[in-house]
Amino acid sequence: MEYKTKNGGTIVVPRKAQSHLLAHPDVLVILSEVIGKIILPRDGLFLATEVEMGRIIGQSGCVKTPEIGFNEKAHFALRLERDKPSRVVLDVECLDTTKVAILAFPSRDDIGIYILVTSFVGPLAPKEPWDKSIQLETEFQTCLEFWSSNALVYDPEVMGLILESSWEEVLNS
């Protein structure tokens, strides 16, 4: 799968991203339109952007929550195609959104071609603290702070059973 961007570039959706998007089925139906609004960076840097669609296109499953401590128990659930569980909340309404987040990296071989990592309905959010691509302690702390005061609304269609855990336990598992 590949889609053209607004400035004539291409975003390729490899098999890994296609399976990753199974956890975000609502974005699949509008992915072509979303990518068609993107202007790829001219400097060849990683693309992490929010695309404003100008209309409500779905619901963001990421919501603000009371902050939890590193050792404090909370709800977690394993999402499709993920290595570790995400923090989740129950019985909370998702919020309508007009935004779609897109993350992609430049192809090593071709200028003007990017490879999709993920896309989801809603605003950009930091990586989850267990993400293997986090390299700097400052980035890890930013991610942990965000996900200690935000969570995903539990969706049994794309998540496994709910478990009680803490960030400490999740990160050390």
CA 99 to CA 53: how far, in whole Å? 6
CA 142 to CA 43: how far, in whole Å? 25
Instruction: Work out the average pLDDT over 80-86.
Output: 90
Predicted local distance difference test score (pLDDT) of residue 47? 95
Count how many residues are written for the chain.
173
- Given a cut of 80, whether residue 134 has pLDDT beyond it is yes
- Measuring CA to CA, which residue among 3, 9, 81 is closest to residue 40? 9
- Measuring CA to CA, which residue among 103, 148, 140 is closest to residue 123? 103
- Given a cut of 90, whether residue 24 has pLDDT beyond it is no
Predicted local distance difference test score (pLDDT) of residue 36? 97
- Given a cut of 90, whether residue 119 has pLDDT beyond it is yes
Give 54-78 pLDDT, tens digit per residue.
Answer: 999 999 989 999 999 999 999 999 9
* Angle, vertex CA 157, rays to CA 151 and CA 161, nearest 5: 65
Calculate the average pLDDT of the chain.
Answer: 93
